[in-house]
Structure 1
């Protein structure tokens, strides 16, 4: 039963991702999500109380996967410069591979209510902490400038990558997002290196 439950749960999240990306969060009825997930409308309510809960769970799951990929690729003892480069590569690579998730994170999230954005914001925290850890290690090792404000720097790094992805989507994905990783990392490092 648990396996079946998990399969339906993840099918609902995947159906919601496609539906939100195609129609936008506000125009996505539960019936559209159910159809995309291949489940009955009522099945959705066995897992989620409201459509907003689906979006929150979607961010929690997808960002959890992204952080897990970073953690698997980034050794805590690795050189912070290499870690920052890897962070940019994985961020852009994963969002280029999952355009629906890129659309939902970059465009749809910004149209949600403040309360919903706050709830989803908790899902971003492990990712922000990961970036902070890289910056902190860089400062402590002497690779990055000692005068950096670690908390501000983590937000600037995340915000810059976020804007690159948004611009890529708005442009109609006319170029490779992955190809932007090296230039992004180089830009960051010009301001961070000691």
Structure 2
């Protein structure tokens, strides 16, 4: 006879113990069962005790309670460890974000803002120059407008890319995956 053979008999009195007895660590559970029943650590001895000892069911119920308590404590410890690991991860992300925000590296922290200010000043300068060009030579308006449109488009593209990149970096530092319109379209489930 082996541990699996007596698992059903034990399970009729103590379901959790019987299930554990049938599992991969059945011999360890068998040791606990034999100890609580006061018999030799063999499936045959336990089987015989279950048939002859009138207090066997009460003893197995006590072991069942102990096993459930142990399992509950183990699960609680595991959840505490997982919670602690998640808390540590969030603290690390927070520290990284605060470090980036308080960075003293002028180039890294301000070059994108410089592009925005340059664009704003350029719009002001373009407005002044447009007024001057129209006053001095109204026939040059088409050429001036071509240059203005090219400047606005190119600076707007650079600024748009920079703003998008800042958003992507901030979301990545918070552990989030950035979404774009194109990624939403490409990953959208298709109707069958």
Smaller-chain TM-score bracket: under 0.3
Q: Give the TM-score taking structure 2 as reference length.
A: 0.23
Larger relative contact order (Cα-Cα within 8 Å, sequence gap ≥ 6): 1
Q: Give the TM-score taking structure 1 as reference length.
A: 0.23
Larger Rg: 2
